[in-house]
Structure 1
Amino acid sequence: MENQRKQLLKMIEEGRISADEAFKLLEAMEREEKEAKQKEEKAVEVSPFLDEKAFQKEEPPRERDLKKKVFSFLDQTVKKIKDTDLDFNFGTSYDVNQIFQHSDVEARSLDLDIANGNVKIEPWSQNEVRIECSAKVYKVNSQEEAKKLFSQETIFSTEEGKIRFNVQNKGIKVKAHLFIPNVEYNEIILRTFNGPIVGKDLKIGNLKAKTANGSLSFENIRGEKGEFETVHGALSLQNISLNKCEGETINGAINLRGEARHVDLQTFNGSIEQYLIQPSQYVFLKSTAGSIKTFFAPGAFIDGSIRSNFGNLTCNLPNVHILEEKNEKIQKVLKFRSINSGESVTKIVAESRTGAIGLYEREV
């Protein structure tokens, strides 16, 4: 049973099965083992998570608590989002294609909010804002009614230095492709409730991207601060250059490549993989049910600690002195520091409940 649970956790981490499917498999295995024990022993019901020693002590096993946190909580959260909140689209729909465009735009901020749909944003050489929309409109009886409702529910403006695009009707599923002037923006805010967000080649002061159900994918981002948040979806940040980068997801992997002085990445059910091309000042990485891998730039000076309850810890960095190492059954800790550290030192803290953590030097 222990090996089966480990295999299920690995399958979730690799994306081969969902948390919901793993939870149901665990429940089925529990029932089968419980019924077998009842027939053989005809005694007190014993959970398949309990070994003999745990049963003699009459204490709830740590594995059961872990299973509840990793599967039950996650299953309830994602199931609520998928089955209840996101059940927007049903019945007949009508397709509406429309292009919104304003010329001679002098804007330095952007605010986009779409309840249901996909977003892609990128700059272009024109001094114009162009939004190409493909929408499916539900709960209407004709094509004309669909066009009218889409026009009524859409807000598009480029006034007072701000680009605004807003579609809050959840019965309209929008696929929006934004082309914005290739200038540096003070702030860009992108929000969807049900759909992924993709952005590339952006120069910004502050970037905020948030969705409840969908992935976040950004490439070639230059700016001061980036905040990325999703509940159900992966987070991919490629070739970024930020002073501060914060990313969070409940159910999804996180992959970062680039440079940031302050990094804070957290996922509940998913792995974290990070490639830093320049030294950072502070890095915090946390995963409850996934592995963590970080690759540092050659010659980087490191000071920090990594810990996991059940996963293996690896610090494969040259010229690093191990300050403390704890390798107990339910808790592993490794504290370390580079020998002869220079002025620029990267402070790293990485934590995982069940997954392994590894620190490596990036190949040139």
Structure 2
Amino acid sequence: MQEETKRILDMVENGVLTAQEAKELLEVLGNQSTVITPEVKEEFKKEPYTQENADFIDELKRDFTVVGERFMQFMQGTVEKIKQFDFEMPFGEPVVFQEKVVKEDAQFDDISIDIANGKVEIYPSEDATTYADVTVKSYKNSTEEEAKTHFNSEFVFTTEGNKLRMYSDLKTTSVQVVLYVPKKAYNQISVRLFNGDFIAQQLEANSIKVKTTNGKINWNELKFGQGDIETVNGSVQVQDVEGESIEVETVNGRIYVDGNLKEIEGSSVSGHVILTTKAKEARKVEGTAIAGNVELYVPKDVSLKGEATSQMGKLDVQLPDVTHLNQSEQLLHKKVVFTKILENESEPLRVHGEAKTGSVVIRYTSEGE
């Protein structure tokens, strides 16, 4: 049963099975009677083998039920978007043109972006102006003049009160935006994309939230109070950042976070989770994955209170100066609990790594900070 379960989960990680298909196979597997040979009895005589497997499979089924619901929401949203497409004009070679939209003397502290189809990049402008370089690919209009007229009537780029707002609900038009804004500390940056990547570099804000259904997310050299990233299908890469807290969630994709961060939470259903904090004031680093590995990297000169768990993978906690309070290698329930208390350290950094089928690795940062 253990081998069959691992095969199912490997197929999920490799994209061979969907979450719903995995859930159905696990239900069938859980209903089968377990054949216990003398060798199996000897290996697992200390633990109730059948019950342990049943509990594990029930837990996986609950996980994949949630994942299946998330994918169904994604598919329903996709179908609704497709229903709104105008298929009277056949898809062919697009009409491509570029526009530069400038907002003169714009004053704002919030940025809100909502793009149905297209890529968004945000950078600080060199001359403290606000403008957007837009590349438009229209699959609906036959001439460039028609495409420009349609784009200008539907694309919104304006200021409302204290907010810069960009909006495009064009379904058969790809809108690729490179936005330049004055270099300053913003209150909130909010981005929603249905289909497209997001890149941000050298920005500062109290709150940064990005949500995309299908697309990669890349943050570089950002400073924020609270960061929030959510994607259904796409990898997340966050590097050289500084912030109070960041939470990253993806259904299918790799998560990589590295920066001076006090709290990090990363969760992926199918993908590796790699989290690194270099902040000596860090309070929490938590990584979880169902079908994927978890790697956590923490500063050396801080107090620690941590835990690593995995049902089917390896636990690799290479922290030579910690005390192992508890270590369990039971079937489908591997666990390591550790602690380290330094003088003049008030609250320890809480470290938690959990993987259902993959391995959990915990190390000090290479800088030894």
Q: TM-score range by the shorter chain?
A: 0.7 to 0.9
Change (3 A) 1:48 1:111: closer
From 328, 331, 339, the counterpart of 2:330: 328
Q: Cα offset for 1:145?
A: 2.1
Q: Provide, for residues 24-63 of structure 1, a one-character-per-residue CA deviation record: whole Å limited to 9, x for no partner.
A: 9x99xx9xxxxxxxxxxxxxxx9699685279x7997956
Q: Cα offset for 1:343?
A: 2.2
Q: Cα offset for 1:340?
A: 3.7
Partner of 1:247: 248
> Residues 1-364 of structure 1 correspond to what in structure 2 (within 5 A)?
17=14, 19=15, 21-22=16-17, 53=35, 66=60, 73=68, 77=72, 80=75, 84=79, 87=82, 91-92=91-92, 93-279=94-280, 280-340=282-342, 342-364=345-367
State the distance in 2 between where 1:85 and 1:332 align.
43
Contact in 1 for aligned 2:287/2:296 (Cα 8 Å):
no
Contact in 2 for aligned 1:54/1:61 (Cα 8 Å):
no
Structure 2 unmatched ranges of 5 or more: 38-49
Change (3 A) 1:125 1:270: same
One-letter amino acid of the structure 1 residue matched with residue 35 of structure 2: K
One-letter amino acid of the structure 2 residue matched with residue 91 of structure 1: F
State the distance in 2 between where 1:321 and 1:2 align.
31
Contact in 2 for aligned 1:298/1:363 (Cα 8 Å):
no
Q: Cα offset for 1:248?
A: 0.6
Q: Cα offset for 1:236?
A: 0.6
Change (3 A) 1:109 1:196: same
TM-score normalised per structure 1: 0.82
Q: Provide, for residues 78-124 of structure 1, a one-character-per-residue CA deviation record: whole Å limited to 9, x for no partner.
A: 98279745656961332232111122232221111101110111102
Contact in 1 for aligned 2:229/2:248 (Cα 8 Å):
yes
Q: What secondary structure sits across from 2:119 in the alignment?
A: strand
TM-score normalised per structure 2: 0.81
Q: What secondary structure sits across from 2:230 in the alignment?
A: strand
Quick check: 138-147 or 284-293, which moved more? 138-147
Aligned-residue RMSD, C-alpha = 3.4
Q: Provide, for residues 175-207 of structure 1, a one-character-per-residue CA deviation record: whole Å limited to 9, x for no partner.
A: 111011111111111111111100010011111
Q: What secondary structure sits across from 2:150 in the alignment?
A: helix
State the distance in 2 between where 1:315 and 1:9 align.
24
Structure 1 unmatched ranges of 5 or more: 31-45
State the distance in 2 between where 1:79 and 1:111 align.
22
Change (3 A) 1:79 1:166: closer
Q: Cα offset for 1:274?
A: 1.4
